[in-house]
Amino acid sequence: MIGLLGYADRISARPGETIQIMVSTDSLDSYDAELVRIIQGDVNPDGPGYEEEVIPHDLGGSFTGRFQPINLGSYGVVEDNSTFANLKSFGVLAAVWPTLPGQGCQVILSRQDPVTGVGFQVMLDEFGALAIEIQPKGGKSTICSTGHALAKEIWYAVTASYEAETGRLTVGQVPLHTHPGVEGMVTKSCATNPNLSQDTVKAPIMLAAQRTSGTASKHHFNGRIDSPRLFSRPLQMAEVRDLLDIDIRHPDFGDLIAAWDFSIGISSDKISDVSAHRFHGQLVNLPTRGVTGRKWTGAEHDWTKMPSHYGAIHFHDDDLYNCRWDVDFSVTLPENLSSGVYAVRLYGEDEEYYVSFAIRPPIGKATAPVAYLLPTASYLAYANDRTGNEFSETEIVTGRLLQFNKNDLLLQEHPELGLCFYNIHNDGSANFYSSRLRPIINMQPKHIGQLGGIGSNLWQFNADTHITGWLAHIDQSYDVITDEDLEKDGFSALAGYQTVITGTHPEYYSLGMLDTIQSYVNTGGRLMYLGANGFYWRVSYHPEMPGVIECRKSEDGIRAAAPRSGENYASFTGEYTGLWRRNDRPPNRLVGIGMVAQGFDISAPYHRTEASHDPRAAFIFDGVDDEIIGDFGLSGGGAAGLELDAANPETGTPPHILVLASSQNHTDVYMTTPEEINDPVPGLGGSEAEIVRSDMVFFETLAGGAVFSTGSIAWAGSLSHDAYDNNVAKITTNVLKRFMNKKTF
């Protein structure tokens, strides 16, 4: 049972604007909804307690419950046309690179009525062999298969034909290159009814799937398709290679119905037909583009410079961009709503679900001296992450037995909720895209995550509400700006704020976001980086498709999977991908520190350094006499833990930085990041490694601003200890008060 789920059409809005809410339930006849402000979202019994504010605002409930399915799987669709209906004989040609042959029927190209089944489909059959199925009106279908399975991850030319006069079906497959142990050309012919008509078929042409009903589909192809083509005559195996390689854009091919060239529009969700008919199509659920095709030789690794070598699209049966649910209700936000983290709380009987989003300040108007950057790109990067459930190594990584809960089981039992950057596709390939146009289970308050254990969440959304809870406790007003706002509005999103505070884990940053925050610091802004592993991976937002980011984890870094050779450039924008450190924009240059280690068992305290007694840092430790900082907290029992950042002049740390405190003696579960290791020798990880530490730092900028960085994801989890009466909260508050003072540093 999936219970009660929902999502919104946007991740931030201004007062007076309208948000659309999509809902699905398989357990409730009706449900209600309310608008709430989330103040402190962690339900850890050792914490300050969950806190939300219900906003008096009629949302129009109660609402009738209904189930809305999620249709996984990517494909291309070309709308129906009379030319397709008039086909008598026909031939289909394509190059394919299958990744899961033999695991069920997988369609390459089909035109089959979803109601009657009339039509045809070219496919890999359940055994992985090329086959064609043709279904006449009122008759039985005929399937013709080569009977020989295609090999995994090898390029083949495949063809399937129907000859109307004789009723002959022919299929053929041949590898485009010779491989030891891989069978060569195979063909097969079969007899079926002559003069079958296509004019009774009411269906589009589908690439990489079969239409079932509405927008639903099945029999998704796993792997790459390159140069699919449709002819109005049967094809011969002897001409297959020529028809694949010949330039058919301009010559008059009278028997050519369509020739889709996937090297055109790689950054889009459109597919182009270069034949005279221009039967262009649309991609659904974001199959992977910017991947090497049948022509790739390794001569060029940037698809923007040689797109013809990237003429393939990688389709997956578990791709998902937009659930495409119908809208259940809309919320017009009150005009007087303060900026903050909000949600529409859906509830009924024993079910509840929070559709979370940010309320921005009115356009062009900062309503507080402080801006809190909600790291929504990182939320997408981890959206519905189920790695803790899938890998037995997780218990080794965390140093304890796993504790499964309702959310873990929901994600495990419902893969249709989609993937994040830490999951891999069913065919083992890396996942490059993540979207918010779906329910995101771990972007809710009260969410108990895999790493948090019983009653807590020390990762992402709830960890970031440790900061909003602290701001509320000290009665500090603030505006909330999301990563999408930063990407869209640039410097204007931060203009007017005296201080900007990050979340605990702003790991994923686009070029526009990074340029904006760097410009803010360079022009005298004050930045409080209250986390770690920030500004780490480079992401790209799609210029036209809302709510989706791309991340290809090239070269090195902590990652679930790496791109294949030749695929390190983002399909959305053509940017080189990977770590910002490898893009010559190391986080050390912006915030003084960068990622060096991670571990998920227990956290450690900081030990003050001699530099902490420098007069430049006097305001930071005002009223703090302790030499040990943060030997307590909700996130592993200390303020330095989970992921750690440290100073390093070799990667851009400013020379005038003050390293105020450092953690030490982390457990052997903490390991050094791959990018810090040139030669894996003993002593680079665990408690004996000097590099495994968190550095708390401060430095001034040339324009009179300053940066304070904590170097630990666990820092914010220590703020509320002893009712916020502790040295972590005192230091953080001291910094904020001085940063809001306009006196130049």
Q: Are strands 526-529 and 706-709 parallel, antiparallel or unpaired?
A: parallel
480 neighbors 339 (Cβ within 8 angstroms) = yes
Choose the final residue of a domain: 299, 315, 331: 315
Sequential DSSP letters for 232-289: SS---GGGHHHHHHS--SSS--TTEEEEEETTSSTTSSEEEE-STT---EEEES--EE
Examine residue 663 and state whether it is found in any structural domain, yes or no: no
Residues 287 and 188 in one domain: yes
Examine residue 214 and state whether it is found in any structural domain, yes or no: yes
**Token couple for 616:** 């430049």
Residues 6+ apart with CB under 8 A from 73: 209, 217, 218, 220, 285, 315, 316, 317, 318, 319
Examine residue 10 and state whether it is found in any structural domain, yes or no: yes
81/85 Cα distance (integer angstroms): 7
Examine residue 609 and state whether it is found in any structural domain, yes or no: no
**Token couple for 349:** 């009987």
Residues 6+ apart with CB under 8 A from 730: 623, 624
Q: According to the model, what pLDDT value does residue 248 have? A: 64
Q: Using 70 as the pLDDT threshold, list the residues of the chain that sit under it.
A: 247-253, 388-402, 448-458, 681-689
423/338 Cα distance (integer angstroms): 37
Examine residue 199 and state whether it is found in any structural domain, yes or no: yes
146 neighbors 129 (Cβ within 8 angstroms) = yes
Residues 208 and 305 in one domain: yes
b/e burial code for range 428-448 (CB count within 10 A of at least 16 → b) = ebbbbbbbbbbbbbbbbbebb
What single-letter amino acid sits at 163? E
Residues 110 and 125 in one domain: yes
| Chain-centre distance for alpha carbon 523 | 32
Residues 180 and 308 in one domain: yes
Q: How many domains does the chain have?
A: 2
Examine residue 532 and state whether it is found in any structural domain, yes or no: no
Choose the final residue of a domain: 359, 384, 417: 359
Residues 12 and 153 in one domain: no
Q: According to the model, what pLDDT value does residue 456 have? A: 40
Domain range for 59 is 4-68+342-359
Q: According to the model, what pLDDT value does residue 449 have? A: 52
Given the structure tokens 């980086």, which residue do they identify? 529
Give the CATH number, domain containing residue 298. Answer: 2.60.120.200
Q: Where are the beta strands (DSSP E) in 656-741?
A: 658-663, 671-672, 695-700, 706-709
Residues 354 and 231 in one domain: no
Maximal C-alpha separation, the chain:
94
Residues 279 and 143 in one domain: yes
Residues 135 and 81 in one domain: yes
Q: Where are the beta strands (DSSP E) in 274-350?
A: 281-284, 288-291, 312-315, 329-332, 340-348
Q: Where are the beta strands (DSSP E) in 68-192?
A: 75-78, 90-98, 106-112, 119-124, 129-135, 142-149, 156-163, 168-175, 186-191
Residues 86 and 118 in one domain: yes
Choose the final residue of a domain: 359, 394, 425: 359
Residues 308 and 166 in one domain: yes
Strand partners, 369: none
**Token couple for 204:** 């589009």
Residues 6+ apart with CB under 8 A from 725: none
Q: According to the model, what pLDDT value does residue 454 have? A: 32
Q: According to the model, what pLDDT value does residue 242 have? A: 84
Half-sphere exposure (Cβ direction) of 391: Cα atoms closer than 13 Å: 14
Examine residue 483 and state whether it is found in any structural domain, yes or no: no
Residues 222 and 103 in one domain: yes
Residues 6+ apart with CB under 8 A from 610: none
Q: According to the model, what pLDDT value does residue 317 have? A: 97
Residues 246 and 349 in one domain: no
Q: How many CB atoms lie within 10 A of CB 557?
A: 18
Q: According to the model, what pLDDT value does residue 681 have? A: 67
Examine residue 413 and state whether it is found in any structural domain, yes or no: no
